[in-house]
Structure 1
């Protein structure tokens, strides 16, 4: 009987770890909504207000007959080079997802010259949420702060409420499974 109990405990631990990891990942709509992978969207502005973590997903929604999504290196990103890409994310439907699996900066662009119209984005995957910095104390004749010193607030999608709901849901599932397995 003890071996069966040990198997149940190990099984429950594996399920719990899996559910907690699922609760941590987040889906980011690139550009802000389901179909905003298109020219003349400020993806740099959008990404500066998002927080990307290991395991998160990017959703690229676009007109499939016009655009694509390519993962490229930094040089190709900076120069809008669409040849020699790392990975072609496009699968033909215009609704593609990409999981962030490494701590690094990912670079994406759309080929066919669309990169020159702003269809590119850099995504920095960090280990934790950066706390907002306090503004420096005012000084006499201090220069105006540059836009680069701006620290964005958390985006509505990055708040802890969504994760909290997921944790409660998964805790409920865990208790339900535990109850069922305990009765056997």
Structure 2
């Protein structure tokens, strides 16, 4: 029997890592600020954010011209007056691709300095607590248990997929 490129233990560990990395995607969302227009002048960010409910664990993704603009978090007063002198946080990394984690339930205020705030480059978002997962429907007394449903929908297919990969590696 030939040994595969990856040991079965390595495959199992990699599979678990992939699952752990994918799980946050179930609950959180990443929003590209401004949609296709990104973080740029003359975009109405109030309209863009109006129909979005931002939850803790969501992310804001700012895409902009790194040579001209920046992303500053300020307080409400400085947001309203476009004052960038004392930001609470400067998220500008220099790449023009900045990500902000919304980890706390509160109001967040972002502006771009260098005069761009005056042309509309400012965003206010209200972040609320992530809602609990939807409740399962009431079960009948003769229905399978909730644990069995979880296993049949998630655990069993994952184990079967890992077993198939393991088996194919052992046959190499």
TM range (shorter): 0.5 to 0.7
| Match for residue 116 of structure 2 among 114, 117, 120 | 114
Q: Partner of 1:26 in structure 2? A: 29
Is the counterpart of residue 74 in structure 1 residue 76 in structure 2?
A: yes
TM-score, normalised by the number of residues in structure 2: 0.64
Cα distance change on mapping 1:111 and 1:26 into 2, 3 Å? same
Residue pair 1:76, 1:82 contacting (<8 A) in 2 also: yes
Deviation per CA, 1:95-126: give whole Å up to 9, x if none.
11111010011000000111010000001111
Deviation of 1:78 after TM superposition, in Å, equals 0.7
Deviation of 1:23 after TM superposition, in Å, equals 1.7
> Number of residue pairs matched?
128
Counterparts of 1:52 and 1:109 in 2: how far apart (Å)? Answer: 18
RCO comparison, higher one (Cα < 8 Å, 6+): 2
Q: Over aligned residues, Cα RMSD in angstroms? A: 3.0
Single out whichever of 171-180 and 81-90 deviates more from structure 2: 171-180
Q: How does 1:7-46 map to 2 (within 5 A)?
A: 20-33=23-36, 35-46=37-48
Residue pair 1:16, 1:174 contacting (<8 A) in 2 also: no
State the 4+ residue runs in structure 1 displaced beyond 6 angstroms.
15-18
- Secondary structure at the counterpart of residue 35 of structure 2: coil
Residue pair 1:69, 1:89 contacting (<8 A) in 2 also: yes
Q: Larger radius of gyration, structure 1 or 2?
A: 2
Residue pair 2:56, 2:130 contacting (<8 A) in 1 also: no
Q: Partner of 2:159 in structure 1? A: 176
User: Which stretches in structure 2 are left out of the alignment for 5+ residues?
Assistant: 1-15, 132-152, 167-172
User: Which stretches in structure 1 are left out of the alignment for 5+ residues?
Assistant: 1-11, 130-169
Counterparts of 2:124 and 2:63 in 1: how far apart (Å)? Answer: 17
| Match for residue 95 of structure 1 among 97, 103, 108 | 97
